Amino acid sequence: MTDAKPAAVSSMPTTGGILLDNVGYVYDDKTPWAHQALENISFTIDPGSRILIVGENGSGKSTLAWILAGLYKPTIGQAIRADKPLVEQTPNLGFLIQHTRLQLLSPTVGQEFSTFGITGSDAQTAMRSMGITNIHLSTRLENLSVGQQRRVGLAVLFARECPVIILDEPLAGLDRQGQTRIAEAVNALPHQTTVVTVTHDFEASAPLATDAIELTGGSVSKVWSL
């Protein structure tokens, strides 16, 4: 590793990339319970990049993930892609949460795909692309392991052709084999897809990315190439 800034993450705007400019986020803003989670976050992620966001618990990385997924609007600053705020692009941004079963709301695998208008052979093609060959569309999601649920979630995002995918602790709670399968699925995503992985486990997650951003106390403390 090196402390030099990599090409994929910089302070300069990039066409089609994600730009965070002086982003800050305050929970319960303008109330007695206000809490500053992020401040002075400024960087750009190039299209097609594979980025890790790492940090200890309370560093702000989960808040940043929700901003990148367009689910939180910065309290201050701007978070944009292709000249539009990320909060206006939420339907086109993919987000896979750690507790994936809470996100997959349908009874079966096939019904989860059909929620997004993806059926039959398109759904099966997406699953094969994510290395899923032994799960049928009729399989109930509750019968799948945690790792299988996450790969199904990835397959849905793949089929939706999301240009940006945010992964929240995708390897948490998995054994070595499960982690390897998730890594293989992430690496099978199209090269033009931007993938941001949020994790506290840098060592296990390093194969998912080429560059990393470390948060400390709600601010960027380090940017480096893996």
Residues with a known catalytic role: 169
Give me the DSSP letters along 96-126.
E-SSGGGT--SSBHHHHHHTTT--HHHHHHH
**Which H/E stretch holds residue 155?**
helix 146-159
Instruction: Determine the Cα angle at 149 with ends 144 and 153, to 5°.
Output: 150
The CA distance from 41 to 11, in Å, is: 10
Contact between 80 and 86 (Cβ < 8 Å): yes
What are the backbone dihedrals phi and psi of residue 131, each rounded to the nearest 5 degrees, phi first? Answer: 80, 20
